[in-house]
Structure 1
Amino acid sequence: MHITYSLHNISTTADFGFSAADYSRFKFGDGEVARHFGAALAAGFIKEHLTGFLGHEQIVVISSPYSFIPTATFTLKNHFVSTINRWLARHNMPVVQECKVHRTITYKEDYGELDAEQRLQLIGNDSFHIDKMFLTGKTLVFLDDIRITGGHERMIKKMIEEYQLDNPVYMLYFAELVNHNIHPSVENYLNYFSVQTIFDLDDIITSGNFCINTRIVKYILNYEHESFCVFLQNKSEAFINELYDMALGNSYHTMESYQPNLNYIKNQLVTNIKKLA
Structure 2
Amino acid sequence: MIPYTYSLHKIDNTTDFGFDPDHYSRFKFGDDLIARSFGKDLADGFIKYYLADNLIIDQIVVISSPYSFIPTATFAMKNYFVSQLNRWLVENGGLSVQETKVHRTVTYKEDYGELSAEERLTLIGNDSFHIDKEFLVGKTLLFLDDIKITGSHERMILKMAKAYGLSNEMHMLYFAELVNKSIHPNVENFLNYHQIKSIFDLEEIIDSGNFCFNTRIVKYILNTASSSFTIFLERRNTDFINQLYDLSLGNGYHTIEAYSKNLHLIKDYIKNNNYKLI
Instruction: Determine the C-alpha separation between the residues in 1 that align with 2:117 and 2:94.
Output: 40
After superposition, the C-alpha distances for 1:54-97 in whole angstroms (9 at most, x for unaligned) are 45200000000000000000000000000000001111211000
2:221 — aligned with what? Answer: 220
Match of 2:16 in 1: 15
The yes-or-no answer on 1:61 pairing with 2:62 is yes
Tell whether 2:152 aligns with 1:165: no
SS in 2 for 1:207: coil
Deviation per CA, 1:231-252, whole angstroms, max 9, x where unpaired? Answer: 1111011110110000000010
**CA displacement at 1:41 relative to structure 2:** 0.2
The 2-side partners of 1:215 and 1:2 are apart by: 28
**Which residue of structure 1 aligns with residue 269 of structure 2?**
268
Which whole-Å CA distance do the structure 2 matches of 1:23 and 1:47 have between them? Answer: 23
Does residue 128 of structure 2 align to residue 127 of structure 1? yes
Alignment-mate amino acid for residue 66 of structure 1: Y
Residue of structure 1 in register with 2:51 after alignment: 50
Quote the Cα distance in structure 1 between the aligned partners of 2:212 and 2:88. Answer: 25
- CA distance in structure 2 between the aligned counterparts of 1:119 and 1:54, rounded to whole angstroms: 35
Cα distance in 2, alignment partners of residues 179 and 55 from structure 1 = 31
Tell me: CA distance 1:54–1:153, structure 2 relative to 1, closer, same or farther (3 Å): closer
**Counterpart AA for 1:162:** A
CA shift for structure 1 position 48: 1.0
Match of 2:154 in 1: 153
Counterpart Cα distance in 1 of 2:56 and 2:260? 52
CA distance in 1: counterparts of 2:234 and 2:272, whole angstroms: 13
Match in the other structure for 1:114:
115
Q: Secondary structure at the match of 2:184?
A: coil
SS at match of 1:170: strand
Name the CA distance, whole Å, in 1 between partners of 2:56 and 2:215: 37
**Gap change, CA 1:149 and 1:55, over 3 Å in 2:** closer
Q: Aligned partners of 1:3 and 1:93: how far apart in 2?
A: 19
SS of 1:209 mapped into structure 2: coil
Alpha-carbon separation, structure 2, partners of 1:273 and 1:201: 26
The one-letter amino acid paired with 1:196 is: K
Provide the rounded CA distance (Å) in 1 between the counterparts of 2:238 and 2:77: 26
Kindly provide the amino acid, as one letter, of the partner of residue 226 in structure 1: S
Q: 1:204 is matched with which residue?
A: 205
Alignment of 1:238-253 (within 5 A): 238-253=239-254
Shift in Å, 1:52 = 2.3
Q: Which moved more, 1:84-93 or 1:105-114?
A: 84-93
Q: C-alpha displacement at 1:2, in angstroms?
A: 1.2
Structure 2 equivalent of residue 86 of structure 1: 87
- Number of residues of Structure 1 aligned to a counterpart in Structure 2: 277
**Structure 1 segments of 4+ aligned residues over 4 angstroms from their partners:** none
Residue-by-residue CA offset, 1:191-243 (whole Å, 9 max, x unaligned): 00010000000000001010100000000001101100001111011110110
Which consecutive unaligned segments of at least 5 residues does structure 2 have? none
Secondary structure at the aligned position of 1:194 is classed as: coil
Q: For the residues of structure 1 that align with 2:237 and 2:98, how far apart are their CA atoms?
A: 35
Compared CA separation, residues 55 and 216, structure 1 to 2 (3 A)? closer
- Describe the SS at the equivalent of 2:120: helix
Deviations 1:164-183 (A, max 9, x none): 10000000000000000000
SS of match in other structure, 1:92: coil
* Cα distance in 1 between the residues matched to 2:201 and 2:47: 35
Describe how 1:253-264 pairs up with structure 2 within 5 A: 253-264=254-265
